A and B are shown apart, each in its own frame.
Chain A
């Protein structure tokens, strides 16, 4: 547990909770990133602007923080370009097939007590852990 950052991570999580609460109470929307991004990539009439604004906020803050504290974006794992591409493809396809990702199912759905979100979160935690196990301990320390 050498890299444990409990307070920064707790504070970060609380900010995510604030953001999701604002989206819910003001706009009546779930702050599920995969759904929001998918709606930007394939926009529906009258339902794209709020999504674009949210994604612009994400990227804008990322650009500012990337310039100010580049260490917070360190990759830190050893993967080939092909592996990053395969990972992105699985994350994109899987989040649409499963109707959500870490934010939608893991935070919003879990908070609302959704059975579907609990099942999805448990599933991606298990397959995520199994994948890391194979990479780090079977194929031999890709970190």
Chain B
């Protein structure tokens, strides 16, 4: 089995998990975020289940080589900078507005509801916009390439 096959199977399993968890229903996401309304804690269960399974395996990473790859590409940064916080803050506003995050938005493309198509196209546009801003900014400015940043897939900082 090749690494690409594992990626495909992982994508399938990830999607089934998102759907089973209720993440492809925007009303469930906003229900989770609505602490002062009719709160639906389901999404906390999704997170608990995912971390309970992944955390022990993530401890194994780095001790040896991955089964089908030459090396691990794992984030190495530990600093908390304004980009991290500002990015997460904007992300959260969009998440609350649309009730979708990137995984469920991509999975829901398969189901074909127009609002999701709009959301997903705009999400792609937002990612392009970021790339544009990052590459066009002056080297000394706030959008200068960070020394700790290396291309995705290398010894990356990228989630």
Do A84 and B115 contact each other (CB < 8 Å), given the known contacts A3-B40, A8-B21?
A: yes
Contact of B107 among A24, A59, A126 (CB under 8 A): A59
Q: Chain A's interface: helix, strand, loop or mixed, by majority? A: helix
Do A50 and B25 contact each other (CB < 8 Å), given the known contacts A35-B152, A64-B110, A127-B96?
A: no
For A106, what are the chain B residues with a Cβ–Cβ distance below 8 Å?
A: 47
A1→B92 contact, CB < 8 A:
no
Q: Chain B's interface: helix, strand, loop or mixed, by majority? A: helix
Q: How far is the CB of A97 from chain B (nearest CB, A)?
A: 3
Q: Which of A91, A93, A123 has most B Cβ within 10 Å?
A: A91
Contact of B122 among A12, A18, A87, A97 (CB under 8 A): A87
Q: In whole angstroms, how far apart are the Cα atoms of A51 and B60 in the complex?
A: 23
B92→A37 contact, CB < 8 A:
no
Q: How large is the interface on B (under 10, 10 to 19, 20 to 34, 35 or more residues)?
A: 35 or more
B102→A95 contact, CB < 8 A:
yes
B8→A131 contact, CB < 8 A:
no
Q: How far is the CB of B75 from chain A (nearest CB, A)?
A: 7
B16→A15 contact, CB < 8 A:
yes
Check: B140 CB closer than 8 A to any chain A CB.
no
Q: In whole angstroms, how far apart are the Cα atoms of A104 and B159 in the complex?
A: 5
B96→A131 contact, CB < 8 A:
yes
A88→B122 contact, CB < 8 A:
yes
Q: How far is the CB of B102 from chain A (nearest CB, A)?
A: 4
Q: 1/0 per position for B86-118, CB-CB distance to A under 8 A?
A: 111111111111111111011111111111101
Contact of A128 among B86, B96, B108, B151 (CB under 8 A): B96
For B156, what are the chain A residues with a Cβ–Cβ distance below 8 Å?
A: 30, 35
For B6, what are the chain A residues with a Cβ–Cβ distance below 8 Å?
A: 22-23, 26-27
Do A120 and B84 contact each other (CB < 8 Å), given the known contacts A84-B119, A131-B97?
A: yes
Q: 1/0 per position for A98-128, CB-CB distance to B under 8 A?
A: 1111111111111110111101110111111
Do A128 and B33 contact each other (CB < 8 Å), given the known contacts A58-B106, A81-B115?
A: yes
Q: Which residues of chain A have a CB within 8 Å of any CB of chain B?
A: 1-6, 8-35, 37-39, 41-42, 44, 46-47, 49-51, 53-66, 69-70, 72-77, 79, 81, 83-112, 114-117, 119-121, 123-133, 135-137, 143
Minimum-distance CB pairs A-B, first 9 = A57-B11, A98-B87, A104-B159, A92-B126, A13-B49, A17-B53, A12-B21, A62-B110, A76-B27
Q: A26-B68, A123-B84 are in contact. List 9 more A-B contacts (CB 8 A).
A: A28-B69, A35-B158, A65-B111, A89-B125, A89-B126, A98-B88, A109-B159, A111-B58, A131-B95
